[in-house]
Each structure stands twice: as C-alpha cells, then as structure tokens.
Structure 1
Amino acid sequence: MANTYYKAINWNEIEDVIDKSTWEKLTEQFWLDTRIPLSNDLDDWRSLSEQEKEMVGHVFGGLTLLDTIQSESGMDQLKKDVRTTHEEAVLNNIQFMESVHAKSYSSIFSTLNTKKEIEEIFEWTNTNEFLQKKAEKINEIYKNGTALEKKVASVYLETFLFYSGFYTPLYYLGNNKLPNVAEIIKLIIRDESVHGTYIGYKFQLGFNQLPEEEQQVLKDWMYELLFELYENEEKYTDQLYAEIGWAEEVKTFLRYNANKALMNLGQDPLFPDTANDVNPIVMNGISTGTSNHDFFSQVGNGYLLGTVEAMKDDDYFIGID
C-alpha cells in the first residue's frame, strides 16, 4: 500500500458541523457587484454637497483598505492555524469574498467619481495616519501574533472597524438616497456577519482549551487592544464626520459594534451602548430587505441574489459549551 503524500478533502466526513453550515451559508449568499445597477444612484449623487461627496469617497477608500488587508494578509495568516481541512475551505471562500468586497468599492468609484477624484481618494487612503495606524496594528498581529490573537484581530476588523464606514451608506439609505450603493454595503455586511461569527467561534474553541490563567492574560490583551483601536477610531471618525455633524452618532454605532465583536469572541460587552442608542435611521437601513432580488435572473432562474436579512443580536454570537 502506497504512503499518503496528500489527503483529499472529504465533505462526507465532517469534523465540525459549523464548517459545513458556514460553507453552505456563504455559498448560498454569493453575489457580485456587477449585478447591482449603481448608475441608478447618479441623480442622488448629484444632489449631495461637495463636502458630502468627498466624505463618501474617503469612507469607501478606508473600507477598501481594510478589505484589502483581509483578502491579502488576514485569511492567509488564519489558514496557517486551521483545525480542520474544511475550515481551510471556508477561509478560502471568505478570502475570495473579501476581494469581491474590495473590488465593489472600485465599482462605486468608477460610477460616481471622475478619474481625478479616484486618484485623490486613494492618495488620501494610502497616507491617512489613522487608517494606516489601524492597518499596521491589525497586520502586525496577523504577521506576529499567536493563532488566537490573529482571530481576535480578524473579528475586530470584521465586526468593529468596518462600521465607521458602513454608517454612511446606511444613513443615506434610511433617508431614501443611494439605495444601490447601500445594497452593496448591506450585502457586504451580511458576509461580514457570517465571517465574524465563524472566526469568533473558532477562537472560542481554542480559548476554552487554555488554562484559566492564560485565558485571563489573553482576555486582558483583547480588551487593551480594543481600547487602543477605539481610541484611534474616534480620531478617524472625527476627521471624517465632525464637519457634517455626524461624529457622535457614528461613535455610538462603533461602540455598539465593538460589543458585537466581543460577543463573537464569547466575551462580555464593554460599552453601555445598545441598538436602542444607535440612530434608528441607520438601524432601519440595516434591517430593510434587499430591493434588487431579481437581478441575477438574467443568468438563470437558479442564480438569485439572496434576501438581505435583518441583523439580530444572536447573528453575532455562537455559544460554546
């Protein structure tokens, strides 16, 4: 009998049922930005002030940077510490969709912005001190952290750091503006919700195997990191939103989602903010179903864009006994 050099993945023998259910969820909600009619938002775009247009461009530039980190660095690092072969397959799916997310912002730029404006957006993104600080902080953990620290960084990015940017399109959607741009963001949020809960679940499996003393050391590190990231995010938020008067509302949204990140990791919330404290227009934007549910019909009736469902507290959390 020949020795085994490489083992084939067998989806009929599942070591962890969460791997299979997550794979099915992610493939079920597959989408591409090319199927969303962004040009239908041009009239709304022209109605915005120049200050708002610049803010929107910078917001999406920042989101592009974070998704680039996840697709180029984050998932590669997480795949070094998988528990099952099926987990690696799920992370491959996540990595591809993070690339789809990053590309989606460029589709928005090419629809709404001139070439000169796009160049300015990426110049701003690639030199902004607060964006670069959080990129460096997260990426250094990916490169040098332990397996569990990398998962914490990933969940913080997916469930917390994106939301200073997500606030803007959700706010406009709640005010009946830029619905197709917001459609893309809601699809991204739906993906990130699954990514965050899945990676948080994998974190909890490893965390619960640690001795109590090591758990406490890691927990202290987690909360210290969150404080540091939040402090930087406050400055970033002020820079983006202070002039148009949204900064404090965005910070509330950030604290709410920071708590969600901790819940994904099986930890207690840190901030007092709840869904009731978040601007109801933004929460309504999250909970509104997708309006473009039939755009995939052009490539066959079996290829439909799934409904964007309302996000509930338990969407963020998988309990581990």
Structure 2
Amino acid sequence: MNDYYKAINWNAIEDMIDKSTWEKLTEQFWLDTRIPLSNDLDDWRHLPENEKDLVGKVFGGLTLLDTVQSETGMDSLRADARTQHEEAVLNNIQFMESVHAKSYSSIFSTLNTKTEIDEIFDWVSENEVLQYKAQRVNGIYRDGTPLEKKVASVFLETFLFYSGFFTPLYYLGNNKLSNVAEIIKLIIRDESVHGTYIGYKFQLGFNELSDEEQENLKNWAYELLFELYENEERYTDDLYGEIGWDEEVKTFLRYNANKALMNLGFEPLFPDNASDVNPIVMNGLSTGTSNHDFFSQVGNGYLLGQVESMADEDYDF
C-alpha cells in the first residue's frame, strides 16, 4: 500500500483560530540579535553583586524551561494535533521557544564572562528545585494523556516562567536594563499567545469528555498546579530570599497561576488579582514594547513595522 500524504491547504481552514494564531505569531516575529543589549552595560556595572547573581540564575532557569518546551513540549503536543494547521502553529511555537532560549544566551554573552556563564549553567544543572519542575513537566509530556500534556504546557507558559520574568520587569520599572527587559517583553508577548492558544485546544478536547472524566481531569490539574506552586515557593525563596523580594514574587506567581487556570477554562485557585501585584511589575507586564521602533536602532534592514499589543479580547475563546 502506498503512503498517502495530504498537502496542507491554507484555503480550507477547519478552525479559524489556527489561522488567526498563525497570523498573530508571524506578525510578532523577532530575533534577539537585533536588540542592542550592550546599551545596558552601564546599568549592569552599577548593580550590586547579589543582584547580578540573581539575574544570572533567573535567566539560567528560564533557559532550562524554554529548552524543555522547544525540545520536548511541542513535539509531544504536535503528536495530538487536531488539524494540519494546528501542527503548523505548533511548529512556529517550537521555533520561537528556541529563539527565547537563545536570547538568554545573548544576554549572558553581553553581561557575563565565560567563567560566570559556565557557573550559571552548572547551577541550573545542580539546582534540585529547578530540575524538579523541569522533570515534572517533561514527565507529563512523555507519559501523559493528550489533555494532560496541554495542561502542563499552559502551566509552563503562563505560570512557571513568571518567577523569572519578575526580575527584568522590576528593573524595567526602575529604569534599569531596559534592552534586556525588551527581550523579556517580547517573550511574554509570545507566551501570551502560546498559553491562550494551547488552552483553547485543551478546552476543545475537555468539552468532549464525560462529566466524570471532566471532573477527574480538573481535579488532577488543580493538584498539579498546587504541587508546582509549592515547588515554586521553594525556588522563589532560594532566588529572592536574600534580596527580600520573595513575597512579592509569590504574589506575582499566584496571579499568573490563576491566569493559567483561566486559559484552561477553569476557575482561579488563589485570591490574588492584579491589584495585589507590585504595580511597577504589572506595568511592565503589558505585552507592548516600550518603543515599537527600537528595531530601527540597528538600521533599516530589519523593519517590522508596528506590532499591536496582545489584547485580552484577541484570544477570548
């Protein structure tokens, strides 16, 4: 029997969310090499040593999570794609997760010595709390059901990244490391699409389950979230305890954990809302960039034009 290959036809769309998400992601395309990170060197020189150490560890942790997402996460989701167009969107997401991971290395190469970079990656490999969350999510990607994999992906995209995102957003609000923060804002802009899109695909499958199956899966998701949150508390204490930002970061984490649940169509777990989060950080969380024309700093060869900020209604499924 001959193999049969079906050519993808973008003129026959089964789910318009696939098309709108593809267009949003390609509209937002960016590369780290076009952002003048060296302009942050003066700010970097004036940071205390314990804050420099924090920044290195934060970005090391984010690199690990993006690596999991690009090497394992999207492959596991792609195996259960409902449409060819969904598979194409997941290919795009996988590539951008690799761009995100590489972006942190660009930050390291600008701010850190080779010895410091090696120490950061050694810390990533040896930190048990960080490794736990990567291994827990990766285990679900490997052995979970299609819907469990989507839950894990949304929790990673919309919740687990944010213990790391707090730091650059805080500096941005205090007029420090603005170009580093621009990369983070671009990553957050991508992740806001990734989390809502995969959450939407989860809801399609979830709505096809029986009432009993829905209840069991919902309970599993809440238990997983709380387990990951407890681990994230330990991670936060490890990173931020000495500096004294730990409680503010935990509030930010709970706020984003609720966002992850909402992406899945579930009710929030924690009482925290936007008004409880440090307003400096919330202001930075806006997915627009502070200067849409910052690409022009590297010449006219990379003009993307203005990219609109993600608005909640764009992905109100």
TM superposition score normalised by structure 2: 0.96
User: Are the structure 2 counterparts of residues 196 and 78 from structure 1 closer, same or farther at C-alpha, using a change threshold of 3 Å?
Assistant: same
Match of 1:186, SS state, is helix
Aligned to 2:150: 151
Once residues 97 and 32 of structure 1 are traced to their aligned partners in structure 2, the CA distance between those partners, rounded to angstroms, is 9
State the distance in 2 between where 1:143 and 1:67 align. Answer: 16
Q: 1-side partners of 2:160 and 2:308: how far apart? A: 21
Question: In the alignment, what sits opposite 2:132?
Answer: 133
How far, CA to CA, are the matches of 2:313 and 2:54 in structure 1?
32
Q: How do 1:227-238 and structure 2 match up within 5 A? A: 227-238=226-237
Matching residue of 1:290 = 290
Structure 1, residues 263-316: CA drift from partner, whole Å, max 9, x if none?
Answer: 000000110000000000001112363325242573547x3164473x66556x
**Aligned letter for 2:143?**
N
Structure 1: distance between partners of 2:306 and 2:230: 36
The CA distance in 2 between the partners of 1:211 and 1:70, in whole Å, is 30
* 1:57 Cα offset (Å): 0.1
Displacement of 1:126 in angstroms is 1.0
Superposition map of 1:202-217 within 5 A: 202-217=201-216
- The code of the aligned residue for 2:29 comes to F
Equivalenced residues, count = 315
CA distance in 2, matches of 1:166, 1:160: 10
Take 1:8 and 1:93, find their aligned partners in 2: how far apart are those partners?
A: 18
Please give the root-mean-square deviation of Cα atoms over the aligned residues, in Å: 1.7
Counterpart position of 1:45? 44
Distance in 2, matches of 1:30 and 1:114, equals 29
Cα distance between partner residues in 2 of 1:213 and 1:42: 56
SS at match of 2:299: helix
> What pairs with 1:158-197 in structure 2 (closer than 5 Å)?
158-197=157-196
The answer for the alignment partner of 1:199 in structure 2 is: 198
The letter of the residue matching 2:173 is: G
Which residue of structure 1 lines up, in the alignment, with residue 261 of structure 2? 262
Distance in 1, matches of 2:196 and 2:87, equals 16
Q: Matches of 1:247 and 1:261 in 2, distance apart? A: 21
C-alpha distance in structure 2 between counterparts of 1:17 and 1:314, whole Å: 15
CA contact (8 A) 1:290 1:307 kept: no
Runs of 5+ consecutive residues of structure 2 not aligned to the other structure: none
Q: Decide whether the 8 Å contact of 2:159 with 2:253 is kept in 1.
A: yes
Contact 2:25 2:190 in 1 (8 A): yes
Query: Displacement of 1:64 after TM fit?
Result: 0.1
What residue ranges of structure 1 are gaps of 5+ in the alignment? none
* Equivalent position SS for 1:81: coil
Aligned mates of 2:30, 2:118 — CA distance in 1: 27
Q: Which residue of 2 aligns with 1:124?
A: 123
One-letter amino acid matched to 2:163: S
TM-score when normalising by structure 1: 0.95
Percent identical pairs in the alignment equals 77
In structure 2, how many angstroms separate the alpha carbons of the residues matched to 1:28 and 1:88?
Answer: 18
Contact 1:28-1:306 within 8 A present in 2 as well: no
Q: Tell me the SS of whatever aligns to 2:9.
A: coil
| Partner Cα distance (2:66, 2:27) in 1 | 21
Question: Per-residue deviation at 1:259?
Answer: 0.3
